[in-house]
Homo-oligomer: A and B are copies of this chain.
Amino acid sequence: MDKNKILSWINYNELKELHEYLKKQNVVDIADFLDELDDSSLAIFFRVLEKEEAANVFSYLDNDARKRLIKTFNNTEIVKVMNELYSDDAVDFLSEMPANLVTQLLDKVDENVRKDINHLLKYKDDTAGSIMTVEFIEFTKEMTVVQALAKIKRVGIDSETVYTCYVVENRRLIGIVSAKSLMLSDSDVLIKDIMKEEFIYAYTGDDKEDIAKKMKKYDLIALPVLDVENCIVGIVTFDDAIDVLTEETTEDMQKMAAIVASDKPYLSTSVWEHARSRIVWLLILMFSATLTGSIISRYEHAFEVMPILVSFIPMLMDTGGNCGSQSSTLVIRGLAIDEIKFGDFFKVVFKEFKISIIVGVVLGIANGIRILILNRNPYLAFVIAVSLVVTVMISKFVGCALPIVAKKLKMDPAIMASPLITTIVDTVAIIVYFTVASHVFHL
């Protein structure tokens, strides 16, 4: 997008040129570009777009840009855009707006749009219902291919996708037809002869992450969503599925870093919201870590006699934490992308057991040698090496087992990640270390 050119068109009121230019641009790029305009240019710019294009651009705007637009637009103008939006985008927009604005807007939109939106707004967040759209194409099984193509020509422009169409009998979904098979079939073939009666579908109450995973697994462009009576009420398209997958991964990563998950972008989250979402876990983990501290206090006599023991505490704690978080990360991710299932519990634990022996021994020997050279104290080298091996083995066990167990208990495995594991492993590492040291040095 050529910012100078656009600004000059706006300044000199050469809106026809702008209109022609924008018609050739990608709506996603136009949406991106809006961030660079001030409020008054933004309003002019947006008014120049054609009705349908405007709705399309609107669906790609982030919340900040939408709020800016709403400030400069009157409700009638917004309603015009809303009438053109796909129902899932309209719902997505409304769910972020203040309740009184939602009521005002809904009062003014077209009757059937209002009906669709009100229907969709009923579905809970995180369900298939909340991300589906109601603009899809229905056939009957007695239609011919040429009739079906004619129907697409008639209603296709308002459908979010025409690439999968749905065959319905008494409102029940009985088959699906891909545009590919329509295009490859002869005109007089009946829909019932090319429709697929075995198809993948979801229910409105299904978890949206499961839906997205299903669409990824089966490489679907769109997935039909049914109500309890097996009537088709909407579809989820692949672009929304990709967004859900990305969002869920981001939330997983946040949980794994001891942050209360949020789907709001980093930069548009306020300082207070950020602080709030981080403090909870920090407090819990901080007070758990004082447990490790109180265990250390029990060995005060040990490091009064041998102060050098204290200097190995960070290395042992960090290595334990790192080993545990390696295992937990791999297992949490494996569970998230369905590469690991609960049935693999013993396979995973046994694998981690073998890995931890190799890793533990290598680290133990490396550090033992280092201490032997630097401190010339074979007993100390032995204590550290043994503590390392045991710590690594316990860390890897805790790291791989807890997420799988959490999943089985219908908890979120992502919580069993590095911060929590580290806190647990720290305590273990300290106990192992001082126990071994006490025995070897008769403290």
Q: Which residues does A use to contact B, with CB under 8 Å?
A: 24-26, 28, 149, 152-153, 156-157, 162-163, 179-180, 183-184, 197-198, 200, 216-219, 221, 238-239, 242-243, 245-246, 249-250, 253-254, 256-259, 265-267, 271-272, 274-275, 278-279, 281-283, 285-287, 289-290, 292-294, 296-297, 300, 303-304, 307-308, 310-315, 317-319, 321-323, 325-326, 328-331, 333-334, 337, 339-340, 344, 347-348, 351, 354-355, 358-359, 362-363, 366-367, 370, 418-419, 422-423, 426, 430
Question: In the assembled complex, how far is the CB of residue A29 from the closest CB belonging to chain B, in whole angstroms?
Answer: 9
Q: Does A297 lie within 8 Å of B289, measured CB to CB? A: no
Question: In the assembled complex, how far is the CB of residue A18 from the closest CB belonging to chain B, in whole angstroms?
Answer: 16
- The residues of B that contact A281 with a CB separation of less than 8 Å are 322
Q: Does B355 lie within 8 Å of A286, measured CB to CB? A: no
Closest 5 CB pairs of A and B: A257-B329, A293-B311, A219-B239, A292-B314, A275-B358
Looking across the interface, which residue of chain B has its beta carbon closest to that of A330?
A: B266
Q: Majority SS of interface residues in chain A?
A: helix
Q: Does B149 lie within 8 Å of A331, measured CB to CB? A: no
Question: In the assembled complex, how far is the CB of residue A187 from the closest CB belonging to chain B, in whole angstroms?
Answer: 11
Most buried by B among A163, A221, A281, A314: A314
- Of B310, B315, B422, which is within 8 A of A289 by CB? B315
Question: In the assembled complex, how far is the CB of residue A391 from the closest CB belonging to chain B, in whole angstroms?
Answer: 11
Most buried by B among A256, A257, A355: A257
Most buried by B among A238, A243, A311, A318: A318
Question: In the assembled complex, how far is the CB of residue A220 from the closest CB belonging to chain B, in whole angstroms?
Answer: 9
Question: Complex Cα distance A157/B181, Å?
Answer: 9
Question: Complex Cα distance A20/B171, Å?
Answer: 29
Given contacts A152-B183, A307-B304, A330-B259, contact A325 B418 (CB under 8 A): yes
Q: Does B363 lie within 8 Å of A321, measured CB to CB? A: no
- The residues of B that contact A297 with a CB separation of less than 8 Å are 307-308, 310-311
- The residues of B that contact A331 with a CB separation of less than 8 Å are 266
Q: Does B355 lie within 8 Å of A274, measured CB to CB? A: yes
Q: Does B318 lie within 8 Å of A307, measured CB to CB? A: no
Q: Does A319 lie within 8 Å of B245, measured CB to CB? A: no
Question: Complex Cα distance A70/B238, Å?
Answer: 34
